[in-house]
Amino acid sequence: MLTLGFAATSLVSYFVSRNSIRHEIATNELPLTTDNVYSEIQKDLTRTVFVSSMMAHDTFVRDWIIDGERDTGKITKYLKAIQEKYGTVTSFLVSENSRVYYNEGGILKKVSENSPLDVWYFRVRKMSAPYELNLDTSEAHRHALTIFVNYRIADYRGKLIGVTGVGLTVDNLRKLIDQYQSRYHRNVYLADSLGRIVLHGSKFSPAVSYIQKIPGLSDHAAALLARQEGAYQYRRDGGIYQLNARFIPELGWYLLVEKSENEAVADIRNTLFFNLAICAAITILVILLTRMSINRHQARLQQVVEAHTAELNAALTETYAANQAKNQMLAYISHDLRAPLANILHYANLLGSSSNEEARQYQGAIEHSILHQLELIDELMEYARGELEQLKLQPIPAYFYAFLHEVANQGELLAAHQNNCFGMVLNGDMPTVAVFDSRRLKQVLFNLLSNAAKFTMGGDIRLQVDVLPEGEHGRRHLRFTVSDTGPGIPEEDRQRIFMPYERQASERPGSGLGLAIATRVVHKMGGELSIESTVGEGSQFWFEIALETAQENDVLPIVQAFSIPEPFGTGKCILIVESDPIMRDYLGEVLSLADFDVIYSENMEDAAREISGASFDAILVTQTAARENTWKFLCKLHESLPGNPPPVILYSAMLLQRPDGFSEEIDFNVVLLKPVWPEELLRTMHELIDHA
């Protein structure tokens, strides 16, 4: 910035000064020089005209001609005296009677109408003006270019008796031009009406004969010769020139005065370079001083940063250890919560195969309860791992009425726990098929229904779905409302209950995460969870979201993805590694439905021996409490079959964590979290077999 400031100031000053000088040259210097030269020329011409007029009106000259020109010595002496007194190049007289041409040297010749050199005389005889200025060559002076004043002589009655006058050499003008060129450093020259340069100084450049051939000025020559005076600017030889022109009517010539800007701005250009040099020196000095100061400051900052870095590293180490402990705890909590559910699910499936209708109903209730318990566990795990902050919805086409029916069944089960009545009300033209994340929407509604059932006893719980009129083409705006006739929520608690781990003042069990999770999911769907409540009368929770509609054929690919081909495992062998005999039998029965040949191993060592002696199309292995054994088995599998090992499915009841020291290039093809439904297991196996 310092350099830019210096440079900008210097450049602005330079350009302002240059423009000022250019303006001064164009408006003052050149016009003044032109006027001075013009005045000098006019002075010489006026003096010459005055001398010629005096000669033409001299009684001696008149009387001498009238008396018959008898004594030529007298007139010669007279002309010689005029020449010497006034410093003219010549003085002359031509008699009309004798046509004799007299000058300071005596008789020069007789003028003749047939001689081109004498045309001037016969022109003067015929003109009415008393005199003329004529540029011609002097015969008496080796044809030197001379300005003649030809003045008519009349007798006492006004009759023409001759012509007299003096001649002024152009050398006088040339000396005047040289004087002005050396004094003011300008080009001064004269050009005739055709543009021919007739007179210039000794140092005139460029060496051309016409102004039309002067570079730059040639573009203005036509305009210059068409006017009496003017100012012009043009470029020549890399410089800018200013020119002032003025017409001299007595000579029929143009006086041209030219000056180059380069010489005029040389001083301020040198000043600019000097200022820039000073600017550079000051800038370098400031940079050096600044760098020294910054280096010292950075050294102090480095010490402070190193101290803070050491503190942060220590804190990071403590945080990492705490996170590891938290993750380990979550893994064991997940395992302890899920493992019993796997056995319950197995027996629920056996109960479902009974012919007893009541038993099958109990089986359905057990399965729904297990699902709800698993969803609560998933919510806890998601919130503990912070996954809800980066939640991404996975909308797919689904039958909307089937979705509502499943929610209603769960709501009825939840309401029955405390003798509540459940009802679902649908208002408006519901979409047959909609595109939405059914799992997340179900999660929100189950949370709201669970809270309503938890705090209501012997009352009514209702789920109402309304189609709003502001729906766009291809979209339906829906309002979901869950209401109850419970105790209601005081106004001071209505905002707090949406915060994590916050609950209404109650002895009812719960983690306080349900509404916090539901609020975030609804927000991801583009809605906002709201509440109305009256103490002693009940509460209403509602939200509005927009769902895209779809066609039934959009659902078909999704449905087909879950269909089980019969049989697709014929001729294929699966190795199951599971130490729990109940779970081992359950998995074997499911895979047998698809006609798989199943081989069992109780531990990793037996499984290692099996893979060394047989070929398997897939391996299903559980993750034991000793995590390293599972990963060691996977590494040994890749070592034994390095080319194309069979796909490996990990069936686990705890969070998957890779132990330290194991390569990230080795991993399981699929991880299934316990418990898994039979159709999900078969679908996963089908996909792996097809892609193997």
Q: What pLDDT was estimated at residue 560?
A: 43
By C-alpha distance, which of 124, 129, 155 is closest to 58? Answer: 155
Q: Please confirm whether the linkage preceding 206 is cis (ω < 30° from 0).
A: yes
Considering the chain, what percentage of its residues have pLDDT values greater than 90?
Answer: 26
Tell me the per-residue pLDDT of 229-276, one tens digit each, with 9 for 90 and over. 888 888 888 788 888 898 888 777 888 888 877 766 666 777 777 777
Residues 126 and 195 in one domain: no
Report the C-alpha gap between 314 and 343 in whole angstroms: 45
Least confident of 368-377, 502-511, 614-623: 502-511
Q: What is the pTM of this model?
A: 0.39
* Residue 188, both tokens: 């001064």
Q: What pLDDT was estimated at residue 333?
A: 58
Report the C-alpha gap between 659 and 625 in whole angstroms: 12
What confidence tier does 449 reach under pLDDT thresholds 50, 70, 90?
very high
Quote the number of domains for the chain. Answer: 4
| Listed residues 246, 261, 276: the one ending a domain | 261
Summarize the confidence of residues 588-615 as an average pLDDT: 86
| Listed residues 241, 261, 281: the one ending a domain | 261
Q: What pLDDT was estimated at residue 671?
A: 82
Residue 271 within any structural domain of the chain: no
- DSSP character for 65? H
Residues 501 and 594 in one domain: no
**Is the Cβ–Cβ distance between 380 and 513 less than 8 Å?**
yes
Residue 293 within any structural domain of the chain: no
Summarize the confidence of residues 153-159 as an average pLDDT: 93
Strands 421-427 and 131-138: unpaired
**Is the Cβ–Cβ distance between 576 and 599 less than 8 Å?**
yes
Residues 161 and 207 in one domain: no
Tell me the per-residue pLDDT of 349-365, one tens digit each, with 9 for 90 and over. 666 555 565 565 566 66
Tell me the per-residue pLDDT of 513-569, one tens digit each, with 9 for 90 and over. 678 888 889 999 999 999 999 999 999 999 999 999 988 677 654 444 445 557 888
Summarize the confidence of residues 74-99 as an average pLDDT: 93
What confidence tier does 85 reach under pLDDT thresholds 50, 70, 90?
very high
Tell me the per-residue pLDDT of 5-18, one tens digit each, with 9 for 90 and over. 667 776 777 677 76
Report the C-alpha gap between 686 and 649 in whole angstroms: 12
Q: What pLDDT was estimated at residue 425?
A: 95
**Is the Cβ–Cβ distance between 681 and 618 less than 8 Å?**
no
CA geometry: angle 43, 46, 48, nearest 5 deg: 110
| Listed residues 261, 276, 307: the one ending a domain | 261
Residues 464 and 579 in one domain: no
Residues 55 and 105 in one domain: yes
Q: Please confirm whether the linkage preceding 675 is cis (ω < 30° from 0).
A: yes
Summarize the confidence of residues 388-415 as an average pLDDT: 85
Residues 192 and 132 in one domain: no
Average pLDDT, the chain: 81
Residue 287 within any structural domain of the chain: no
Residue 379 within any structural domain of the chain: no
Give the residue numbers spanning the domain of 456: 396-554
Residues 537 and 578 in one domain: no
- Checking if the pLDDT of 291 tops 70, the result is yes
- The amino acid at residue 499 is M
Residues 147 and 11 in one domain: yes
Q: What pLDDT was estimated at residue 8?
A: 75
Report the C-alpha gap between 206 and 398 in whole angstroms: 94
Residues 500 and 598 in one domain: no
- Checking if the pLDDT of 507 tops 50, the result is no
Tell me the per-residue pLDDT of 606-630, one tens digit each, with 9 for 90 and over. 888 888 878 888 999 876 544 567 7
Q: How many CB atoms lie within 10 A of CB 655?
A: 19
Strands 229-236 and 475-484: unpaired
Report the C-alpha gap between 227 and 257 in whole angstroms: 15
- The amino acid at residue 464 is Q
Q: How many CB atoms lie within 10 A of CB 574?
A: 24
* Residue 50, both tokens: 């005055």
What CATH number is associated with residue 670?
3.40.50.2300
Q: Is 475 helix (H, G, I), strand (E, B) or coil?
A: strand
Q: How many CB atoms lie within 10 A of CB 179?
A: 14
